Amino acid sequence: MTALDTLADKISSRTARIGVVGLGYVGLPLILRLSEAGFPTAGFDINEDHVAGLAAGQSPFNHIADAAVADLAQADTLLTSDFARAAEVEALILCLPTPLDRYRQPDLSYVVKSMEALAPYLHPGMLISLESTTWPGTTTEVMRPIIEAQNLEIGTDVALVFSPEREDPGNEVYTIRQIPKVLGGETPRCRDLGEQLYSAIVDQVVPVSSTRAAELTKLLENIQRSVNIGLMNEMKQIANAMDIDIFEVVNAAATKPFGFTRYTPGPGLGGHCIPIDPFYLTWKAREYGLNTRFIELSGEVNGRMPRYVVDGLVARLSEISGKAIRGAKVLVVGLAYKKNINDQRESPSLEILEILKEMGADVAYHDPLIPEIPPTRKHATLQGMASVAPGEAHWDAAVVVTDHDAVDYEALLGQSGLVIDTRNVYGGTAHPETGRRIFAY
């Protein structure tokens, strides 16, 4: 019996200890699901405070209950920042950030440094899965050499797969179990073992021919969204110039039962996926002498939206009240990148806040889920800024960037001279104040 045969038996009996590296928005739900499915687990994270909080049963995310984390901490689970404990597991699933650097080049440092730290503890009879979104070829060109440098043969000693995460924080309809799992292996044996493991925790595994195909699948999913959102954002600018309610148009178009997929405009893209992932393919395509014009154009359109929102605010503030933006009291409503979660990664709110500060506005933000702005890679000047209650002042203007359900929007309108509504929370032309004090941007 080979080492991988032994691994297969342990997965089948659910005695294989599964390690998850990176316990953030992707890794924490995954380890919870693995534990729920009956596997002994191990969670690795370099942030010792984060690990300690999880061990104490405290969830860092509002869409994951403390009780669920407490159950994990009390189960057969190891939570640690010591990567040497990887020697005790039969599988490692990497759920690590893959950001862009300042030049929009892929930054795989989290993946590479973690793999280098884990490498001395890799052993025969392991499965290693990368879930982080990345460019086609990463598993083969980056992951595989690190493993093989430990004198481990892929497909014989160790199974190596890529299975892109499809986590959607706050989604109450689709859980990890219900979302099909795309999976590619470095060899057929690798793919079979990956399928065996993931089939134990999800209802459907979608095997593809290679890790490169799986890597490109995730990029296609996110690029499609980016391009279509970019189209809607461009349409919004055209509609605004023509004094047409873009949301009314989208709602009408969406009644067509075929050939139209509903996408809505907004203040810009946020989250770790849509603003970043398309540029991974743009970067890799250059290696093949290809230009990704659709991808780059949508990135330009979406990237300009925070400035477009601020320009609209400046124009309407002058038109309605005769005030300049410098010295104006402005409230940005919503810091998170999407409604009803406390995740501010890449949120357009951060850029809007920064632009307004630079223009001299007396700017504040309100987000019931994010009481203080944490450290960010791009917006250091905002760190420590605290959320304020909308009723603390009368605002010359409010900008609705994130449409949390917990905000009283009618009260907000009463506290603001005008509202820039980027999310259509007021219903566009259906609201009597539209065109007087409520403007879509």
Please check whether residues 377 and 357 belong to one and the same domain: yes
> Could you tell me the strand order of the sheet in which 329-333 lies?
362-366, 329-333, 397-400, 419-421, 438-440
- pLDDT tens digits, residue range 400-413? 999 999 999 999 99
Q: What domain range is 322 assigned to?
A: 223-440
Q: What is the pairing mode between strands 158-162 and 181-185?
A: antiparallel
Please check whether residues 87 and 235 belong to one and the same domain: no
Between the alpha carbon of residue 242 and those of residues 136, 245, 396, the distances in Å are: 42, 9, 26
- Final residue before a domain boundary, out of 188, 212, 236: 212
- Which residues, in sequence order, are bridge partners of residue 127? 91, 159
- Which residues, in sequence order, are bridge partners of residue 181? 205
For residue 32, the domain's CATH number is: 3.40.50.720
Please check whether residues 261 and 339 belong to one and the same domain: yes
| Residues lower than pLDDT 70 in the chain | none
In-domain check, residue 218:
no
Please check whether residues 143 and 23 belong to one and the same domain: yes
Name which of 315, 306, 310, 314 is nearest 265 in CA terms. Answer: 306
How many angstroms separate the CA atoms of 47 and 203, rounded? 32
Q: What is the pairing mode between strands 329-333 and 397-400?
A: parallel
Three-class SS of residue 439?
A: strand
How many angstroms separate the CA atoms of 244 and 233, rounded? 14
The total number of structural domains that make up the chain = 2
Please check whether residues 183 and 276 belong to one and the same domain: no
Contact of 413 with 439, CB cutoff 8 Å: no
Contact of 157 with 125, CB cutoff 8 Å: yes
Q: Report pLDDT for 14.
A: 97
Between the alpha carbon of residue 74 and those of residues 24, 51, 57, 375, 440, the distances in Å are: 19, 14, 9, 31, 49
Please check whether residues 391 and 363 belong to one and the same domain: yes
In-domain check, residue 50:
yes
352 CB-near residues (< 8 Å, 6+ apart): 267, 306, 309, 310, 332, 399, 401
* CA dihedral for 127, 133, 135, 136, sign (positive or negative): positive
What's the number of CA atoms in the CB half-sphere (13 Å) around residue 164?
A: 26
In-domain check, residue 165:
yes
Please check whether residues 201 and 284 belong to one and the same domain: no
Please check whether residues 149 and 36 belong to one and the same domain: yes
In-domain check, residue 129:
yes
How many angstroms separate the CA atoms of 353 and 18, rounded? 42
In-domain check, residue 217:
no
The two tokens of residue 138 are 């990463």
Number of H helices, E strands in the chain: 14, 13
- Final residue before a domain boundary, out of 153, 181, 212: 212
Q: Report pLDDT for 104.
A: 81
Please check whether residues 158 and 227 belong to one and the same domain: no
In-domain check, residue 160:
yes
Contact of 63 with 170, CB cutoff 8 Å: yes
Name which of 162, 156, 207 is nearest 7 in CA terms. Answer: 156
How many angstroms separate the CA atoms of 269 and 100, rounded? 15
Whether 273 is catalytic: yes
Q: Which of 273, 314, 364, 399 is catalytic?
A: 273
Q: Report pLDDT for 172.
A: 81
Q: Report pLDDT for 430.
A: 87
Q: Report pLDDT for 1.
A: 81
Please check whether residues 192 and 260 belong to one and the same domain: no
Q: Report pLDDT for 260.
A: 96
In-domain check, residue 298:
yes
Please check whether residues 194 and 239 belong to one and the same domain: no
Q: Report pLDDT for 357.
A: 97
**DSSP character string of 33-93:** HHHHTT--EEEE-S-HHHHHHHHTT--SSTTS-HHHHHHHHHSSEEEES-GGGGGG-SEEE
- Final residue before a domain boundary, out of 148, 180, 212: 212
In-domain check, residue 372:
yes
Please check whether residues 287 and 377 belong to one and the same domain: yes
Name which of 395, 254, 291, 268 is nearest 344 in CA terms. Answer: 268
